[in-house]
Amino acid sequence: MRTVITGGAGFIGSHLCERFLDRGDEVICVDNLITGTLENIEHLRRHDRFQFLRHDISHPLEIEGPVDNVLHFASPASPVDYLQVPIQTLKVGALGTHNMLGLAKRKNARFLLASTSEVYGDPLQHPQREDYWGNVNPIGVRACYDEAKRFAEAITMAYHRYHHLNTHICRIFNTFGPRMRLDDGRVLPNFMGQALRGEPLTVYGDGSQTRSFCYVDDLVEGVVRLLAVDFPEPVNLGNPHEVTILEFAKEILALSGSKSPIEYRPLPQDDPKLRQPDISRARNLLGWQPQIDRHEGLKRTLAYFQSRLQQTPRR
């Protein structure tokens, strides 16, 4: 099998490259390194079935030879990142998705879109099921990411219906693990970095907003299983175990042994108050549910961040 993975030098993308190599595929990793890093794939570049292409998929991409799978994971995914590059985020969600769908169509390949729980916005339904249409501010500060992914889902379904392309959509909820960036800006690297440096943990609002955290190995397993079935509609992939941000901060402090205080700051605009996946569809369709509990995943991730803090960051 020959598999193209866009965003392959990113956090989740690099784990996918590893997994598809391990199963025997030839992997073509495509990334413009706007948020990804070569460090994430350095251990793979010596592999004779691995190829790295530095390319912005907002521009057309040609791949010589056959392609069996196209996994489209390219996009800034953290508010810190996409608020700095909102136009590039919109372009990779719109033009990039169009280009990768076109590649899959030309090669008669399976296509899988990495969508996001952010398509649900600040949800009025809890937990969130795939048939929920969401509560999204289309002109808010986060809209560059939310609406890019909503458009990406729409054009993916259009290619499926009009061109009969074999497509898949995974809606990814909060995922964590090794190879996250300490400056990622999302809650887990924020808390772990602050705890390890002895800085105050910044909790926005009163900390009552909730998140659900899935370890990256579990997510990758769900993606692999989804690609193998013929089902074009969105599938939630995430851990349904919900925790408040304040509880999560205290959990990080206890795990790290840090004496850092908790510091409260105003809640950012359009920050979702609730986030919990209903994974009934994934259970029934894929026989999938998370296997690694949050505490074990956090221990592994903390060890990774501890090692990163002992090194000089480089991009």
Q: Which residues are catalytic?
A: 145
DSSP 8-state class, residue 200: P
Query: Is residue 144 within 8 Å of 136, Cβ to Cβ?
Result: no
Cβ-proximal residues to 239 (8 Å cutoff; 6+ apart), any chain: 173, 212, 213, 214, 215, 218, 277, 290, 294
Q: What separation, in Å, do the N-terminal and C-terminal C-alpha atoms of the chain show? A: 31
Q: How many CA atoms lie within 13 A of 256 on its CB side?
A: 29
What are the tokens at 54? Answer: 């530095």
Residue 34 has phi, psi (to 5 degrees) of: -70, -35
* Alpha helices by DSSP H, the chain: 11-22, 79-82, 86-91, 97-107, 143-163, 187-197, 216-227, 245-256, 280-286, 294-309
Cβ-proximal residues to 231 (8 Å cutoff; 6+ apart), any chain: 168, 285
